[in-house]
Structure 1
Amino acid sequence: MNEIRIESWNELQDQLFEDSWSADIGRFRSRYAFRGLSDASYGLETTLMRLGGPFDTLERHLLRNFKKYAHRTVVERDSLWHWLSVAQHYGLPTRLLDWTYSPFIALHFATANFERYDTDGVIWAVNYLKVHRLLPERLRLKLSEEGANVFTVEMLSEAVRSLEELNELSHREFVIFFEPPSIDDRIINQFAFFSVMSKPTSILHHWLSEHPDLWRRIIIPAELKWEIRDKLDQANITERVLFPGLDGLSHWLKRHYSPKT
């Protein structure tokens, strides 16, 4: 069953940490990427797709001009994956999607928007270990050589040098999860990483529907959002921590002192 509607905080914890036991090492090590959305009807479209129009042909122009006008010191290395990571981080429409290793941070993003408190939220949980078993051989070998489960930008830079090369790597669609460089405290505090699909027009939730063993959706009823939000605040999962700086502090204080009505 890929969609679970929880009924309580305790049930939510069980679902978020389901399948996290790793018998190989005798430790709890979840292999899931989490993405929290304030509305359960939202899919997994990228910001590039939401541009509309011939967005797939605009991708290279967006990135080329971002590189042209951005200061060269914003990336530590002049590679596609470094530039894509920085561009996504600063709001450029890209084919990347934001994820986190932390289910609580995903919960924050599912409950931070007061305008959606009358709407069910959702946590997407995708097993990146199983996703990567479906990669083309070149990429699977790269992970194996490094003894890694998720790519770094350095690993991807060695394996795939351009978007055209990524598009042509396989006739089948595939998904890569990779960790961005530690650009700033926001990336670090959000325990963030990205997914990218092999084609700019590919929609991740469509691909996942063909692989039901890789994922689940945890539906958060609207009536539970206040309880979840208050408990996350008590656990210090707030904008003040996740968005260090005066803007994050202001967002946290505004929400913290807003009346329930």
Structure 2
Amino acid sequence: MPNLTTITINSFQDFLNNVDQGQNSSESSLWFRGTGKSSYTLAPSLHRHDNVTDSASLLDYEKKLLTRFKERSVPYLQHRIDDVWELLFLMQHYGMPTRLLDWTENPFISLFFALSSANKNENGEYTDDAAVWILSPPKWNQCVFSNISYRGGAMSPSETTVTSYQPNTEAQFMHENPVAILGIHNSPRIVAQRGSFCLFGKSLTPMETIYQNGTFEQDTLKKIVIPHSIIGELLDKLVWMGITDSVVYPDLEGLAKETKRLFGFGV
């Protein structure tokens, strides 16, 4: 079983050194996920219900959420959405609970997410370490689908291998572990954020635990810890480089956040 490599950085250059790993083809591509608290697990929003904690009930909740969203979203959409995959990604975009976990192909976007969502106390001081996770989608999928000798990278929702993950699939027919999947680019945010996803199956186990208990190649999944003492410094560096709220969120909400940050207001 592989060990989870955890690296604590001390500077922006340290971060660059750890994400610059020769990504020059789809076989060596890496995905990144930033979290404002390093203790957060790699679990999707559907799994974070306060009271419902069993897989069958959560999958039943997903069916109900999909139906409700499909019925009630019609007045707000330019066209009716009948494709269940498109509906699922749209729900994720608007913050509905799903089995999708957001990742990005851009390490700077993930770092911005981590730093800008980090907790502060009443004195404006950062209180918790943040983190950026690094995933190799080809290595992850090749292990999850080792039973069919899969040798590709991230999958598309249109591939038959992903059929068992489709919403409304009965639990007994659904695959157990998450799959690294390419998103449907149905919103400007997904495009701007170079969005990609891990789609969970029926297992409620976080990805880092699945990794450590599985037969994955070493460093399929890694974690970079960002000490709270350097969060402000790194965030200023990112903003100076042009990684700002309006770039990550290309809409009025992003513009408002960026303007607030520019004038010294809390975001």
Q: TM-score normalised to the size of structure 1? A: 0.83
2:142 partner amino acid: R
Count how many residue pairs are aligned between Structure 1 and Structure 2.
248
Q: CA deviation at 1:37?
A: 0.5
Q: Are the equivalent residues in 2 in contact too, given 1:134–1:174 (CA < 8 A)?
A: no
- Gaps of at least 5 residues in structure 1 are none
Residue of structure 1 equivalent to 2:130: 121
After superposition, where does 1:1-261 map in structure 2 within 5 Å? 2-18=5-21, 20-22=22-24, 30-54=28-52, 56=58, 57-71=60-74, 78-113=82-117, 115-116=119-120, 117-136=126-145, 149-155=153-159, 159-160=163-164, 161-164=166-169, 168-170=173-175, 173-199=176-202, 201-211=204-214, 213=218, 214-258=220-264
Q: RMSD value over aligned CA atoms?
A: 2.9
Q: CA deviation at 1:196?
A: 1.1
Q: TM-score normalised to the size of structure 2? A: 0.81
Q: CA deviation at 1:47?
A: 1.1
Give, in whole Å, the separation in 2 of the partners of 1:35 and 1:74. Answer: 31
Give, in whole Å, the separation in 1 of the partners of 2:181 and 2:252. Answer: 29
Identity %: 26
2:97 partner amino acid: P
Q: CA deviation at 1:48?
A: 1.0
The structure-2 alpha-carbon separation of the partners of 1:158 and 1:38, relative to structure 1 and needing over 3 Å to count, comes to closer
Listed one character per residue, the Cα deviations across residues 14-52 of structure 1 (whole Å, up to 9, x for unaligned) are 11123x355xx6xx9852211001111111122112222
- Gaps of at least 5 residues in structure 2 are 121-125
The structure-2 alpha-carbon separation of the partners of 1:74 and 1:154, relative to structure 1 and needing over 3 Å to count, comes to farther
Q: CA deviation at 1:168?
A: 1.8
Give, in whole Å, the separation in 2 of the partners of 1:233 and 1:139. Answer: 45
Q: Are the equivalent residues in 1 in contact too, given 2:208–2:221 (CA < 8 A)?
A: no
Give, in whole Å, the separation in 2 of the partners of 1:150 and 1:82. Answer: 18
Q: Are the equivalent residues in 2 in contact too, given 1:3–1:217 (CA < 8 A)?
A: yes
Give, in whole Å, the separation in 2 of the partners of 1:129 and 1:216. Answer: 14
2:198 partner amino acid: S
2:65 partner amino acid: L
Farther off after superposition, 197-206 or 116-125: 197-206
Q: Are the equivalent residues in 1 in contact too, given 2:142–2:153 (CA < 8 A)?
A: no
Q: CA deviation at 1:83?
A: 1.6
2:140 counterpart SS class: helix
Q: CA deviation at 1:193?
A: 1.1
